[in-house]
Amino acid sequence: QVQLVESGVGSVQAGGSLRLSCAASGYIDRKYCMGWFRPALGKEREWVLKIASDGTISYAYYEEGRFTISKDNANHTLYLQMNSLEPEDTAMYYCAAEDEGPWEGCPPRPSDYTYWGQGTQVTVSS
C-alpha cells in the first residue's frame, strides 16, 4: 500500500504562485508514475502533470508552461510548482500514484491510478 498526503498553502491572488507537496509512504517502488490531478468539467478528474519513474513528464494541453512537476526520490516527495495562477485554476488538487509495470510508463486515465491523496484546495482570487 502507498499512502499519499498533500500539503501546501491554499490561497493566492491571481498572478501569484503556489507550491504543493505530496509525501509518499508505505511501499515505495521507483517504478511508480506520480501525478497531479484536478476536477474537470464533465469529468471526475483530469491530470495536470505526470512524471514517470524515468523522469519523463507529461503536460496537460492547457497547462501552457505555468506549472512544473518535480520529484525528490530520496524523500519520496512530489511537488507541483504553479506560477501565474488564474482564478480558473481554483480547484481541489490531488496527488496520485500508480505502478508503471502494466503500462510501461504513466497510465493515461485518472481511473487507472490506484493510490490517491486526500486532496488540497487551491483558491485563486481575482
pLDDT one-digit tens code per residue, 36-59:
999 987 778 888 899 998 999 888
What pLDDT is stored for residue 30 in this prediction? Answer: 64
- Tell me, rounded to whole angstroms, the distance of Cα 43 from its chain centroid: 17
pLDDT one-digit tens code per residue, 7-41:
987 899 999 999 999 999 987 666 899 999 999 87
If pLDDT is split at 50, 70 and 90, which confidence band does 63 have? Answer: low
In 10-72, where do the E strands start and end?
A: 11-13, 18-26, 32-40, 43-51, 57-59, 67-72
Mean pLDDT value across the chain = 89
